Structure 1
Amino acid sequence: MHRLILMRHAQAEGSSPSGGDETRPLSAVGRGEALLMGKALAERGLKPDLALVSSATRTRQTWEQMHDALGDVEVRDEPRLYNAPPEVLRRFVEDNEDQAGCLLVLAHNPGVHVLAGEYLSESAASPAILERLSGGFPTGAAALFTVDVAGRCAYEGFITPRGLGATT
């Protein structure tokens, strides 16, 4: 793996018809966020070879909205990514690092946010970068990392729908 994209699902509705959190769908704003993020990743040449997607409705719908911009990507729905803590997300990254040149993990906060922060700390990111991420990990956001041959992640960027001009 040469690149890693850690992404949080786009904005979801506050509830679902079934009442369960896992089945909450994307809101209209979230559908727009996901489309925008898919285009932004594609424009930056960040087309994943493999996307590991939480089985929650909102993450699957986020991927569906991004798909057209990113083209043909191997996708795996992963039930264990639903609300996974950072150590579980990290295991998924490590277990799949040889499967893709660019890996996308599409999951939930707080796990995505915490893992991104851990990678930043481990790579001795600058205080300015740490400060930027400490402000939160909004819906639809993606932390971008380059990965060296030893598997160490170095900060490449942080993209948010709002930073791309999306309105909430």
Structure 2
Amino acid sequence: MLLRHAKSDWADAQTPDARRPLSRDGRDACVLVAEHFAAERLAPDLILCSSALRTRQTVQRIAAALPPDVPVLTEDRLYLAGPDELLGRLREVDDGVPNLLLVGHNPGIHALAVGLLAQADRARIPTFPTAALAVLELGTRRWAELGPASTRFGSFVTPRGLRHAS
């Protein structure tokens, strides 16, 4: 599962990027995403989260819809990471972790999502707006074998789509 952080607050231009909190719209989007996690019974066994405040707050705001004991690893190296860095991190995941949630940033999260899909499925994720969630199904049992076109498209939702669906 790949989740882009919810919308952040740009009200104070002096706030360093890594310390920008979620905006009101971002907090509202987290409610929709949490409801989707619960309705679809999406249950990660591990969460990898960028160290940025907005990603950590996104995880906190959807936490009630997640398993209560799911480990959350907050990592500096995921902050604004590109697709190659994100893929490298995913390849390090222990094979005993079947379901993983990665919470990160664009453009890396979008590039990773489409890069993991077969060419025919890439158009199913044309953009990756804030609080969008892509669910991809591994075509391998080993994280170390994750690579281009190694997953199958599961689903892709955005807060706007979830709002219109309810």
TM (norm. structure 2) is: 0.87
The corresponding residue for 1:45 is 41
Deviation at 1:15, TM superposition (A): 4.9
1:133 to 111, 125, 129: 125
In the TM superposition, 1:1-168 aligns within 5 A as: 5-16=1-12, 19-72=15-68, 73-120=70-117, 123-124=118-119, 126=120, 129-134=121-126, 136-149=127-140, 151=146, 152-165=150-163
Deviation at 1:93, TM superposition (A): 1.1
Distance, in Å, in 1 between the alignment partners of 2:157 and 2:103 is 14
For residues 134-168 of structure 1, the C-alpha deviation after alignment (integer angstroms, 9 at most, x for no partner) is 2x1000001111112354211111011111007xx
Aligned length: 156
Distance, in Å, in 2 between the alignment partners of 1:17 and 1:66 is 27
Counterpart contact for 1:50–1:99, Cα < 8 Å: no
Matched-pair identity in %: 38
**Gap runs ≥5 in structure 2:** none
| Larger relative contact order (Cα-Cα within 8 Å, sequence gap ≥ 6) | 1
Deviation at 1:71, TM superposition (A): 2.8
For residues 92-136 of structure 1, the C-alpha deviation after alignment (integer angstroms, 9 at most, x for no partner) is 11111514111000000000000111012xx34x3xx432322x1
Cα RMSD (Å): 1.7
Distance, in Å, in 2 between the alignment partners of 1:43 and 1:83 is 30
Q: Specify the SS of the correspondent of 2:25.
A: helix
For residues 46-95 of structure 1, the C-alpha deviation after alignment (integer angstroms, 9 at most, x for no partner) is 11010000010000000000001113211010111000010010011111
Large movers: runs of 4+ above 6 Å: none
**Gap runs ≥5 in structure 1:** none
Counterpart contact for 1:97–1:103, Cα < 8 Å: no
Counterpart contact for 2:50–2:78, Cα < 8 Å: yes
Counterpart contact for 2:45–2:99, Cα < 8 Å: yes
Counterpart contact for 1:145–1:153, Cα < 8 Å: yes
